[in-house]
Structure 1
Amino acid sequence: MDRKIMDWPTFIGALLVLFSVAVPLVLFPDFGDEMVTAANTFVTESFGNLYLLIGMVLLVFLLYIAFSRYGRIVLGSKESKPEFNTLTWAGMLFAAGIGSSVLYWGTIEWAFYYQGPPFGAEPGSNEAIEWATTYGLFHWGPIAWAIYCLPALPIAYFFYVRRRSVLKVSEACRPILKGYTDGPVGKLVDVLFMIGLLGGAGTTMGLATPLIGEGVSYFTGIEPGMGLYVIVLLGCTAIFAISSYTGLRRGIRHLSNINLWLSFILLGFILVVGPTLFITDTMVNSVGRLLDNFFQMAMWTEPFKDFANFESTGFPEAWTIFYWAWWLVYAPFVGLFVARISKGRTIREMVLGTLVYGTIGCLLYFGILGNFGLYLELTGQYSPVDTLNNVGTEAAIIGTVAQMPLSPVFVGIFVVLAIIFLATTFDSGSYILASVCQNYIDDEPERWNRLFWAVVMALPSMVLLLIGGGTLDTLQTASIVAGFPLIFIMTMLAFSFTKAIKEDMPKSFGSKYYIYREDMD
């Protein structure tokens, strides 16, 4: 191995910060839980509106770039062709972006809104049901994928157009950081990105591990608990470590394709065999309600909650701000990954493909799985809400899937999907973490480097399970706190791309345009 290939300050710096946070939380879990909660309260109360504003601004910015003359730029040379076909490309970016969380929330998120609806609606009322079927589509819709897509713009541009041989967030900020990119400031940006990703990864695996454990319990009868969760966590880590070691073209690509076809089987079966008319009617109605209320939902802050005549629901902090923070901690990672797989596509194709394919994928999961659960609740065949309140979230999810015909088969498919989705997200994450820790990349990051970060990514998940028992409040809190520094990094990325593109772009060009200069700095 070439010793110069590794960026050791970034590698060691990220590890030191990770262990300096993780070790005290493990040694003093109660105190750690209190500190994380206090940090969450400070961030949401003082800066919650920043999360909402950046989501809307990024969506508008991306749509402007996609439909402007900049959207015609090809990521590569005139000879560049897409490395992956459109279906595989869409499957890879979708699987990397949502992981097994779409199975978790897609099945049960409506039940939380049904009991604690927004805008002062009465729990369990018709209005609460309407919002319950709509808000999941909003939280997993265009704004979420805009947050994901924004970092892909400067990263792909610098990697494929300006031909910088590194996949780093700091490199994409070079027009703003200038000479500081290669010094401590640039290293700090990369370390903050890595810590944010590791924090977000902890949230994702912290949600997925009990869910998979509940599925294992369904088949084996083993009581869910920390012992089972640790076994599941170690097993999943082994799977995505092997996939990461095999590389992008074999491991991640094939797992994404398996995910895609298993998703078609699961969702297609529910749609055909389940309450087809109810599911389709509710999906159409929800999309209409979302379009009608999109801006109100995106900018709702409950500004009058501290006055005597107004009752606070806490909904924006508990849900919308949590989700925007969660997307933010994953955004540079997903952006790096989308950039890496988008060679040969135009900027317009990359932006609109990410927004459209990502949103449609989430719409199908929430519209089919979620509305199936709601149908069971409304008809009295099975109550996910009662199971959620009396047993647990994971039991409600598996219980919902178990109401299908051939339930053992489809619970098995559901659990396998959760494992593969998790593996796809995490081996993509280890690929990107390894890329950031290298000074250059010939083809793919070093195998030992990818394997190392695949194992390390399991650490935050273990910590969060230990200090909070995998509870939703603890996991949501971790995402919001970890996502705060990413607000400023995302702003730098947007300005960097704008500055770079204006420097390189001539005033006019044809239907497709290529900027590909050997001598660009």
Structure 2
Amino acid sequence: MAESKNKAPAHLGTFNSDGNFRPHGEHAQADTRIDKFTFFGVLVILLGVTLPLVAFPQQGADWVALAKAFVTDNFGVAYLAFGVLSVLFVVYIAASDIGNIKLGKPEDAVEFQTGSWAAMMFCGGIGASILYWGIVEWMYYYQSPPFGVEAKSPDAVRWASTYGMFHWGPVAWAIYLVPASAIAYFAHVRNSPVLKVSQTLMPLLGEKLAKSRWGKTIDIFFVFGMIGGGATTLGLASPMIGQGLQELAGIPNHLWTQLGVLLVTTMIFAYSAYQGLRSGIQFLSNINFYLSIAFLLFVLLAGPTVFILNVGLESMGRAATHMVSMMTWMESFGQFEQHGFRHTNFPRDWTVFYWAWWLVFAPTIGLFIAKISKGRTIRQMVVGSMFFGSLGCAVFFIVLGNYGLWLQLSGNLDVVSVLNEGGATAAIFAVLKTLPMPKLVMAVFVLLSVIFTATTFDSISYILASVVQHEVEDEPHRWNRLFWAFALCFMPAVLMFLGGLSTLQTASIFAGAPLLVIMSLMMLSLIKAAKYDLHYQPDYSLKTIYIEELPDNSPWEHGETSEAPEGSVLAQQAEFEAMRQQNQADGEGEAPSAPPKAD
């Protein structure tokens, strides 16, 4: 009986924190074995998607295109609503008491300095895609602008310089932070040695369901999204790097060149993943960060500096002013063209697609942000990610995009015609050729593309290795990291060889639809666990004041006002007023400097 009285109360919800999460300071032996169900489940799904595309490429592409159109047409509003919800969620956890929670033990120091932390997060979170879209995205908006604007008009120019920053801005990083905040909390605060999405849902699902094969199936869905998102980046980077080699060395940009690029990139990120988080990923990210800054500064100073800065500031202001409209615009009246409305499919083709893309990438980047943010508070992680991520992406669009826009408007180069005739990679290098020392500029651009791709796949392989182990002690096994590094290369390479890579990219987008529900549950799970843990702390004081004693009569009611309880603010004020009147009566003329302290 005495034992039951001394037992700590059970935690809220259907999970037992004391039984399922390792207390701070306790260093039990981690179960670092491979989780066979997750490991082989991922391989089975990959083969199940890849082999039919290999055997029936055209039919597979048609089916995937239909599925993607069905999802974006019918569930586009769900993707946009999730973007709004993600922004509200990160604002809430940053502004509330949850934001004050430190990710780690009281004595834990920040693992990475702010500069390295920002560089790792930025380089791992965007990949070579920022180099690709930073230069060409405005060209598509210029020809097919949003909000029914006339193509190639002055308003089309203004929106073309704005929408790229919006698509790569705060909403994208808010989506990343949904899994990042939940996983960081359970990994660093609740001290779980398991870096899995299913573990973050334990407060809602319960321990039994979260650790069952249903929970592991959730992890497999997330892993498939990781690989599909990686394939998307690869599909953009390989032709772009191949085009660069053709411009620099005359190497034909055909399939074998792109496969060679893929192999070299794989060797780089495999070595980096083998070295681990500090020696590998941090080193590559730092190189990439400083090289990117140097490249952007060169373009800014060599190009029309004042124009680039002016348009950049205007575009940031326009994006901030219209952000709510841009986040919620669905072109709802586009079907009524007889009434003067335009049906452009812009939200579906761009905003919905981007939100779906960020969604499938979110598990990778979220796990990665969580891993590197130990020692910081949740507020620091949220604000830092939103600020460094959004600002970094905006700088690429401001400098690279506005330089290309200036070339088009000034008549120095008809970039849009190059895009329409030769494709995006041809337009990218046509823009770079107009800069001073074009060979050097293109060489740096190609090097940046390789390192960006390597750091992205580096992060994905590291997280994949973590997810398929039962538990992770410090870092996942080296052989496990190497296996996933080469697996990430092999699957897209086969599809690239057979021309089905774009189909896998599209498949990963609509396969991310279940993640809308899963990640919404992650928000609720984090809030539930964090709120209870805060109230569980003996030194936590509630911000809400409970009115326990009411007066019989108040000053605005008829009758004599009730006397306030001794020691209350009203009693102190009444005593202070009485002393002031007494002093005036005695001729002193001054009130006491402060009310007396209550006994």
TM over 0.5: yes
How many Å apart are 1:475 and its aligned residue?
A: 7.1
Instruction: Kindly indicate whether residue 89 of structure 2 is the aligned counterpart of residue 58 of structure 1.
Output: no
Instruction: Write out per-residue CA displacement over residues 159-215 of structure 1, whole angstroms, 9 at most, x where no aligned residue.
Output: 111111111111111112212111111110000000111111111111111111111
2:198 corresponds in structure 1 to 170
1:17 corresponds in structure 2 to 45
2:275 corresponds in structure 1 to 246
Match of 1:350 among 381, 398, 418: 381
1:519 corresponds in structure 2 to none
How many Å apart are 1:2 and its aligned residue?
A: 9.5
Match of 1:359 among 390, 401, 415: 390
**Matched AA of 1:306:** Q
Q: Which has the higher helix share?
A: 1
Q: Secondary structure in 1 aligned to 2:513?
A: helix
TM-score (structure 1 length as normaliser): 0.95
Distance change >3 Å, CA 470–CA 189, structure 1 → 2: closer
**Matched AA of 1:381:** N
In the comparison of the two structures, how many residue pairs are matched?
511
Distance change >3 Å, CA 324–CA 162, structure 1 → 2: same
Q: Work out the CA distance in 2 between the residues paired with 1:500 and 1:2.
A: 23
Instruction: Write out per-residue CA displacement over residues 492-515 of structure 1, whole angstroms, 9 at most, x where no aligned residue.
Output: 211110111122112889899xxx
How many Å apart are 1:459 and its aligned residue?
A: 4.0
Check conservation: 1:206, 1:475, Cα contact below 8 A: no
Check conservation: 2:194, 2:471, Cα contact below 8 A: yes
Q: Work out the CA distance in 2 between the residues paired with 1:433 and 1:372.
A: 38
Distance change >3 Å, CA 421–CA 34, structure 1 → 2: same
1:431-450 matches, within 5 Å, as 431-450=462-481
**Matched AA of 1:74:** K
How many Å apart are 1:306 and its aligned residue?
A: 2.3
Distance change >3 Å, CA 173–CA 298, structure 1 → 2: same
What RMSD in Å do the two structures reach over aligned CA positions?
Answer: 2.0
How many Å apart are 1:86 and its aligned residue?
A: 0.1
Q: Work out the CA distance in 2 between the residues paired with 1:373 and 1:166.
A: 46
Q: Work out the CA distance in 2 between the residues paired with 1:475 and 1:113.
A: 25
Match of 1:375 among 406, 411, 420: 406
1:135 corresponds in structure 2 to 163
Q: Work out the CA distance in 2 between the residues paired with 1:147 and 1:32.
A: 30
Check conservation: 2:30, 2:472, Cα contact below 8 A: no
User: Could you say which structure has the larger radius of gyration?
Assistant: 2
Instruction: Kindly indicate whether residue 237 of structure 2 is the aligned counterpart of residue 208 of structure 1.
Output: yes
How many Å apart are 1:476 and its aligned residue?
A: 6.2
1:263-274 matches, within 5 Å, as 263-274=292-303
How many Å apart are 1:338 and its aligned residue?
A: 0.4
Instruction: Kindly indicate whether residue 185 of structure 2 is the aligned counterpart of residue 185 of structure 1.
Output: no
Check conservation: 2:31, 2:470, Cα contact below 8 A: no
TM-score (structure 2 length as normaliser): 0.83
Instruction: Kindly indicate whether residue 60 of structure 2 is the aligned counterpart of residue 32 of structure 1.
Output: yes
2:142 corresponds in structure 1 to 114
Match of 1:326 among 339, 357, 369: 357
Check conservation: 1:201, 1:460, Cα contact below 8 A: no
2:16 corresponds in structure 1 to none
**Matched AA of 2:344:** T
Instruction: Write out per-residue CA displacement over residues 341-368 of structure 1, whole angstroms, 9 at most, x where no aligned residue.
Output: 0011000000000000000100110000
Distance change >3 Å, CA 164–CA 174, structure 1 → 2: same
**Matched AA of 1:378:** L
Structure 2: runs of 5 or more not aligned? 1-28, 542-599
**Matched AA of 2:482:** L
Greater RCO (Cα-Cα under 8 Å, separation 6 or more): 1
Q: Work out the CA distance in 2 between the residues paired with 1:27 and 1:177.
A: 39
Q: Work out the CA distance in 1 between the residues paired with 2:232 and 2:489.
A: 11
Q: Work out the CA distance in 2 between the residues paired with 1:354 and 1:16.
A: 34
Check conservation: 1:401, 1:410, Cα contact below 8 A: yes
Match of 2:319 among 283, 290, 309: 290
How many Å apart are 1:467 and its aligned residue?
A: 6.0
Q: Work out the CA distance in 1 between the residues paired with 2:272 and 2:181.
A: 27
Instruction: Kindly indicate whether residue 384 of structure 2 is the aligned counterpart of residue 384 of structure 1.
Output: no
How many Å apart are 1:121 and its aligned residue?
A: 1.1
Distance change >3 Å, CA 368–CA 78, structure 1 → 2: same
Q: Work out the CA distance in 1 between the residues paired with 2:39 and 2:226.
A: 14
2:175 corresponds in structure 1 to 147
1:315 corresponds in structure 2 to 346
**Matched AA of 2:331:** E
Instruction: Kindly indicate whether residue 528 of structure 2 is the aligned counterpart of residue 504 of structure 1.
Output: no
Check conservation: 1:376, 1:383, Cα contact below 8 A: yes
Q: Secondary structure in 2 aligned to 1:79?
A: coil
Distance change >3 Å, CA 314–CA 463, structure 1 → 2: farther
Instruction: Kindly indicate whether residue 259 of structure 2 is the aligned counterpart of residue 237 of structure 1.
Output: no
Check conservation: 1:83, 1:342, Cα contact below 8 A: yes
